[in-house]
Amino acid sequence: DIQMTQSPSSLSASVGDRVTITCQASQDISNYLNWYQQKPGKAPKLLIYDASNLETGVPSRFSGSGSGTDFTFTISSLQPEDIATYYCQQYDNLLTFGQGTKLEIK
Amino acid sequence: EVQLVESGGGLVQPGRSLRLSCAASGFTFDDYAMHWVRQAPGKGLEWVSGISWNSGSIGYADSVKGRFTISRDNAKNSLYLQMNSLRAEDTALYYCAKDNTHDLAVAALDYWGQGTLVTVSS
pLDDT in tens, A24-45: 999 999 999 999 999 999 999 9
What residues in A contact B70, CB-CB < 8 Å? none
User: What confidence tens digit (pLDDT) does each residue in B78-117 have?
Assistant: 999 999 999 999 999 999 999 999 988 778 999 999 999 9
Specify the pLDDT at position B43.
97
What residues in A contact B46, CB-CB < 8 Å? 97
Q: Do B108 and A91 touch (CB under 8 A)?
A: yes
Band of residue B69 on the pLDDT scale cut at 50, 70, 90: very high
Average pLDDT, chain A: 97
Question: What per-residue string of b and e applies to A78-99 under the rule 16 or more CB within 10 Å gives b?
Answer: beeebebbbbbbbbbebbbbbb
Specify the pLDDT at position B107.
83
What residues in B contact A89, CB-CB < 8 Å? 45, 47, 107, 109
CA B84 to each of CA A12, A101, B47, B121: distance values in angstroms, whole numbers, following the listed order: 41, 32, 17, 14
Measure in Å the smallest separation between the Cα of A30 and chain B Cα atoms: 12
Among B109, B111, B114, most A C-beta atoms within 10 A, so best to mutate, is: B109
Question: What per-residue string of b and e applies to B3-36 under the rule 16 or more CB within 10 Å gives b?
Answer: ebebebbeebeeeeebebbbbbeebebeebbbbb
Which of B46, B112, B114 shows the shortest C-beta gap to A97? Answer: B46
Specify the pLDDT at position B105.
78
User: What confidence tens digit (pLDDT) does each residue in B7-23 have?
Assistant: 999 999 999 999 999 99
Measure in Å the smallest separation between the Cα of A29 and chain B Cα atoms: 12
What residues in B contact A53, CB-CB < 8 Å? none
Specify the pLDDT at position A9.
97
Which of A32, A43, A91 shows the shortest C-beta gap to B114? Answer: A43
Q: Which of B71, B62, B102, B27 is nearest to A94 (CA)?
A: B62
The dihedral built from the CA positions of residue A9, A59, A95 and A42, taken in this order, carries a sign that is positive
- Residues of chain B in Cβ contact (below 8 Å) with chain A: 35, 37, 44-47, 50, 59, 61-62, 95, 100, 104-110, 112-115
DSSP string, A48-103: EETTTEEPTT--TTEEEEEETTEEEEEESS--GGG-EEEEEEE-SSS-EE---EEE
